[in-house]
A and B are shown apart, each in its own frame.
Chain A
């Protein structure tokens, strides 16, 4: 898979760098868009979806139970449309949870796993696949075409949005970076990568709708937790805990900004 990823990445760079008017930004971006379109009908994330669906029904843990009774917010076992309304507040945990933290809760409560077991390999490596990446791909695909509609009625959901907005603009670290450094103006790039303006609803919709996503450069499906952890790494922040409040609140901020967008995950990314 990694060799395939390398070849595709090289192809992408070739397309990006051999356009007819190569020094002009717009044509570079057009080439990248053309590359994405070329691959869009053939998203390798489908393999993760198949695996995730099987994993949902698989019995495991001390309680020898599947995840089929897991409540993702729309009632026990309801998967269709659930992802388009996450993160949300859950009364049983007393917390606002994203899909990944909800899955961890269900693995602990329904299957009897320890937190460490439930979170094991949450971000896959070359040697270890991730159950959570596969589950995320499948559960997200079950919300395709549905409007993004994170609930904002519970006080904790409102608080998550408000704190998320503060965190989005929080400059810190040796580079003075905040999320807003790269994601609050439209049409700019880092190197050749076009940056979405997440304060602009139209752009936030397209981005929020496309995670989790198959990442060509990494040869696997990556989740929003992974994406934000990596943004914070590039901001020169410390490594955030898996399922940390900072990540949840930033996800809520983005999701509420993206309200009304049409879910299209798993997406396909560089």
Chain B
């Protein structure tokens, strides 16, 4: 089966599954089917291995349907499933804040314009204020200036911080922040370095 047909099938199955769910009316499910058809027809020039990106996982589908504001039950279920999928390093959660700063600055990776093999950055500054010296920061996420100074460096705080980078939706369902560990965007060392950027007393974040 060629990849487009395969994708159509996957998307069609999702649409049919939507049909079966009691809360979805027939109008909504036919709209889902048409949306799936639009997606299936719109990327015919893309490499087949890229098409899987168009297929939603459960959390993506739930957050899309809820327009980012899930009801209590759905929100609770998302937090539980994402908490259960958290993975921590065997030892130590704090890496090198200097590397963390580089990772926070880097916005490359996983775009079709990137050279294959490009190591993805975290692009944290796109959305957050972090170190004071960097004024070209976005405002979609909260300011993280003084993050460690406010919270200290206890083991619980380290675990929370690493976990939040690994999968923000384990804490905030339908968060706008990418699930950097859960989706394999950043590796363990990179996430440890970012944890250090936020928590290390020597980091510019905490000066």
Contact = CB atoms under 8 A, between A and B. Distances in A.
Contact of A191 (B60, B64, B137): B137
A233 interface: yes
A188 B140 contact: yes
Interface stretch (A50-58, A145-153, A202-210, A242-250): A242-250
Contacts of A249: 38
Given A190-B126, A238-B53, A245-B38, A169 B67 contact: yes
A239 interface: yes
Contact of B43 (A25, A176, A191, A244): A244
Number of chain A interface residues as a range: 35 or more
A163 interface: yes
A191 B136 contact: yes
Interface string B134-169: 011111100000000000000000000000000000
A170 B62 CA distance: 10
B56 interface: yes
A187 B41 CA distance: 34
B176 interface: yes
> Which has the most chain A C-beta neighbours within 10 Å: B61, B63, B184, B185?
B63
A237 B55 CA distance: 11
Interface string B44-78: 11110011011110011101100110000000000
Nearest to B169: A176
B135 A22 contact: yes
Interface string A175-193: 1111011101101111111
B140 A233 contact: no
A171 to B, nearest CB: 4
Contacts of A175: 110, 178, 183, 185
> Which has the most chain A C-beta neighbours within 10 Å: B41, B113, B135, B183?
B135
Given A162-B31, A239-B112, A174 B53 contact: yes
Nearest to B177: A176
B111 interface: yes
Interface string A16-37: 1100001101001000000000
Contacts of B61: 171
Contacts of B55: 172
A234 interface: yes
B42 interface: yes
> Which has the most chain A C-beta neighbours within 10 Å: B38, B135, B185?
B38
A173 interface: yes
B43 A236 contact: no
A177 B127 CA distance: 13
Given A236-B53, A244-B41, A174 B112 contact: no
A238 B46 contact: yes
A68 interface: no
B39 interface: yes
B34 A159 contact: yes
A166 B110 contact: no
Interface in B60-107: 60-61, 63-64, 67-68
Contacts of B5: none
A54 B110 CA distance: 41
A233 B178 contact: no
A60 to B, nearest CB: 26
B192 interface: no
Interface of A: 16-17, 22-23, 25, 28, 159, 162-163, 166-167, 169-178, 180-182, 184-185, 187-193, 195, 233-234, 236-241, 244-247, 249
Given A238-B50, A238-B54, 6 more contacts: A170-B56, A176-B60, A181-B176, A189-B139, A193-B138, A233-B113
